[in-house]
Amino acid sequence: MFYYVFAGFLLLLCIFDLLVLTVLNGACRSMDIVRIVTFLQYIIFISHVSQGDKREMEKLL
């Protein structure tokens, strides 16, 4: 459960950063690429956490 909260917080932080970059409109393209890669890493992290939780539930059953 903690992992979902932590990953969700990081995901929201990344989305906020992307919104700030688009509103300010002064960010360089390399920073946009870094933000997008970071966003994708969070998505991958969340998918791995959910798979781990499924395995733990299978062990309990």
Mean pLDDT in the chain?
Answer: 67
Q: 21: which 2 tokens? A: 């970059």
- For the stretch 37-57, pLDDT in tens is 777 777 777 666 655 566 665
DSSP output for 18-56: HHHHHHH----HHHHHHHHHHHHHHHHHHHHHHHHHHHH
Q: Which residue has the higher pLDDT, 10 or 56?
A: 10
Q: 47: which 2 tokens? A: 């998918």
The number of angstroms, rounded, from the C-alpha of 1 to the middle of its chain's C-alpha atoms is: 16
d(CA 11, CA 16) in angstroms, rounded, equals 9
pTM of the model as a whole: 0.38
